[in-house]
Structure 1
């Protein structure tokens, strides 16, 4: 695993970046996803297009959660309303911080 620097932490969502390989990691509860910079931006844009109300339903515990499909048909990610909002805020902040670090590193 890379030696990462945290770009953003909002609620249960932590987004970090490896300074060497430039890989971006999303840490959320019990999953970790890794992306190249371009993949991360594509993922963020895809997530922004999903509306909570049209992709959510009540789970057996009675809480409403959005279900986000992944390229692996048998794997979906789920978020409560608060987790979904925090997830988006963390990605937005991570994009901003990545731009700041790029400027500081002279890229």
Structure 2
């Protein structure tokens, strides 16, 4: 049975993981993605390589957003600039807290 621990909560970005199976969960608005610890690290590294203004585009509603593809080809995140900053900060904090939990185990 999963024992979910919250790693970070930054506005609409929430990251948690299961203390037993180590699955990492990224919640953003109404989207939930599940990652193995290794896949979460790879997704984090991918996001860290992207800069908002290098990759953003204007959406039909007049908002500038960045598109980030998930490991599932058919699902992508879209972030406004404040959401992008929140998600990157949340992922950084989650990685650090995961490392702390790994040291404790």
The alignment's TM-score, normalised by the length of structure 2, stands at 0.91
- 53-62 or 64-73, larger mean C-alpha shift: 64-73
Give structure 1 stretches of 5+ with no counterpart: none
- Encode CA deviations 1:7-62: one digit per residue, 9 max, x unaligned: 11111111001011010000110111111111100000001111211211111221
- 2-structure distance, mates of 1:99, 1:71: 22
Match of 1:42 in 2: 42
Equivalent residue, structure 2, for 1:52: 52
Aligned to 2:90: 90
Q: Deviations over 1:65-96 (max 9, x none)?
A: 00112344443210000000000000000011
Q: Are 1:10 and 2:10 an aligned pair?
A: yes
C-alpha RMSD of matched pairs (Å) = 1.5
Q: SS state of the match for residue 77, structure 1?
A: strand
Secondary structure of the structure 1 residue equivalent to 2:98: helix
1:22 aligns with 2:22: yes
Within-5 A mapping of 1:62-101: 62-101=62-101
Q: Which moved more, 1:22-31 or 1:71-80?
A: 71-80
In the comparison of the two structures, how many residue pairs are matched?
105
Deviates more, 1:15-24 or 1:1-10: 1-10
TM-score (normalizing by structure 1)? 0.89
SS in 2 for 1:6: strand
